[in-house]
Structure 1
Amino acid sequence: MQPRRITEVPLPNASVIEAVRESCASLPAGSTRLSESFYANLFVMAPDVRAMFPDDIRPQQRRMADALVEVVRYLDAPDHVAQFLRELGGRHYRELGVRPEHYPFVGRALVRAVSEVSPTWSSSMSSAWVLVYEWITATMLAGAEDAISREEGARRSPGDAAPRGDDRRPPGDRDRSGARSSAGDQRPSDARHAYDTPRPSGARHAYDTPGPYGASQPTR
């Protein structure tokens, strides 16, 4: 089943967000238990995906754990989280070759991983994670579509007019994208975030993206 578009997925409500946070509450700070379980399940469900990652998966597990914790933490600030997820989706498309058909495997692996590490797991938590992941997926795919549109625009010669409808995002999504950009400019001047460190020169990674408040996550 193909993931739904951002215009088809509602933002999770407060009770859903609270259930998702509760499922992660027992994880100690800096723990990679969740991401370790996630990748183990993902590579069983979709073995071909393993080739997208380096042999030593531990740095990737750390990045994924940090990114997921931050997304869950800021779900009630959706404009900032959406900006982060769109950029993450674009980088996953460009740098890892992630396509829409991979996302259902990622979602199932994530839900199973949470069920394995959360002592308070329940069917209601499972439903909450499905709702949250559908929204995360739709937002990341919107970012991937942005990246595809930019690639197509770069391939056209400067004199070519862009064909009507070249922006693959639905009109409603384009409108929200503009609103999110303006919201991102209003972040508090004293806000600090896990990604608030300068990006060193050198290789980038799919998780080296601005965090919810627009700062940069360090590369490995």
Structure 2
Amino acid sequence: MTALSKETIETVKATIPFLAENATQLTAHFYQRMFRENPEVKAYFNAAHQVSGSQQGALAASVCAFARNIETPENLATAVSLIANKHASLGVQPEHYPIVGKHLLASIDELLNPAPPEILKAWGEAYGFLAEVLIQQEKGIYAEQSWNGFRKFTLFRKEEESSVVTSFYLKPSDGGTVPAYLPGQYITVRIPTADGSTTMRNYSLSCHGCQHGLRISVKQEKAAHADQPDGYVSNYLHEQLALGDEVEVAPPCGDFVFDADAAEQAGTPVLLLSGGIGITPLLSMLHACKGKSFPVSFVHGAIDSKHHAFASEVTQLAQEHENISAHFRYSAPLDGDTPDSHGLFDREFLSQYLSPETEVYFCGPKPMMAHVLSVLDSIGHPADKVHYEFFGPAEELSKCPMHAV
């Protein structure tokens, strides 16, 4: 792989002030342009995230992070791995990268009206460098998958877990074996849309070692504002997918995973911390901890009992396995609710679960994750013992306000 020239690095660095001020405008223009001229790629993107602006914001933050780390791309290894896994889960191929590159450079040119040739040249080389890194990582992921592309699975069980979360149990329609996967990984579900195309979403596998099939547990996403759409796939699964129906599923992906054997060998304590629907990958990790000797604290935050999924399942796991303890914390309990505690995940609360050796895994709404990351940092918990799943550059979490889980 050809290293970037000093001239390219310096030119990209010189664009950082412009990006800091205009990155979101740039990425919004980019998506509009790309979808208009290459509508075949729309199936790879979440329409609701496009309307809310979160997709544009995530890309803007990624572009800024790449520019800031242009001299030290190794600093982006975690983000690159996350993006490569997301791409592989959706079936992104090398031929898609020139499409993105064309519209990214055209958007820079149109926004600067026009861009100096040296800027387009530098960003073209920089994008080509990053594309090659991602293509190579994705090639390795594809080589390790149980199958490539999409495979039909049949829904054989559907179970309501809370007022907004339902579990869907899937088995291969061809009668083949259920794929192996790591605790914390997700699958991609592809379903048809009204216009005759398809759309895809990632859903964490919410069990590990469970018999007969795969389980995903999906929150039904309703629009937060009148000008935003409901979550198309989550509502399709909740309201239309019936027992015996088929969906297309891509192989398990993701690098937010838990190695129970390594934890057993190390013998160090583990804290699994979740908020809201963020419970799904951590519940898979919890199942992998059954019967182990190391201590596991499973702490889950919910708004109230109506929004609390898997309360009985987690309680049963804690009762049946001596190494597991569970704690439920509600941010706004209803009359009659009896959580173990109420409030947010503040410093005093989290400190009781931490020693310098504790391995912490957490997932939940972005504001909750920002808060937890800030608390762990203020406590001085070792960074190499903090693990979480977040789509976008990690520094974006530090800019996010806290709210109830």
Task: Give the structure-2-normalised TM-score.
Answer: 0.36
Runs of at least 4 residues off by over 3 Å:
27-31, 152-156, 207-211, 215-218
Alpha-carbon distance between aligned partners in 1 of 2:392 and 2:28, rounded to the nearest angstrom: 23
Structure number with greater Rg is 2
Asked which structure has the greater RCO (Cα within 8 Å, sep 6+), the reply is 1
Alignment match, 1:200: 363
Alpha-carbon distance between aligned partners in 1 of 2:55 and 2:105, rounded to the nearest angstrom: 18
Alignment match, 1:169: none
Alignment match, 1:174: none
Alignment match, 2:10: 18
Alignment match, 1:176: none
Deviations 1:91-146 (A, max 9, x none): 2121x332111111001111111112236721111111111011110001112112
Greater shift in the superposed pair: 100-109 or 12-21: 12-21
Greater shift in the superposed pair: 54-63 or 146-155: 146-155
CA contact under 8 A between 1:89 and 1:144: conserved in structure 2? yes
Alignment match, 2:124: 130
Change (3 A) 1:83 1:32: same
| The structure with more helix, counted as a fraction of residues | 1
Listed as ranges, the matches of 1:147-186 within 5 Å are 147-152=141-146
Alignment match, 1:70: 65
The letter of the residue matching 2:102 is R
Change (3 A) 1:28 1:135: closer
Alpha-carbon distance between aligned partners in 2 of 1:45 and 1:129, rounded to the nearest angstrom: 21
Alignment match, 2:76: 81
Secondary structure of the residue that 1:11 maps to in structure 2? coil
Give, in angstroms, the shift of residue 64 of structure 1.
0.6
Alignment match, 2:97: 103
Secondary structure of the residue that 1:32 maps to in structure 2? helix
Give, in angstroms, the shift of residue 21 of structure 1.
2.9
- 1:142 paired with 2:136, answer yes
Change (3 A) 1:48 1:117: same
Alignment match, 2:45: 53
Q: How many pairs are equivalent?
A: 163
Give, in angstroms, the shift of residue 83 of structure 1.
4.6
CA contact under 8 A between 1:75 and 1:81: conserved in structure 2? no
CA contact under 8 A between 2:58 and 2:391: conserved in structure 1? no
Structure 1: give runs of 5+ residues left out of the alignment: 1-8, 157-197
Task: Give the structure-1-normalised TM-score.
Answer: 0.62
CA contact under 8 A between 2:9 and 2:71: conserved in structure 1? yes
The letter of the residue matching 1:208 is F
Alignment match, 2:268: none
C-alpha RMSD of matched pairs (Å): 3.2
Alignment match, 2:260: none
Alignment match, 1:44: 36
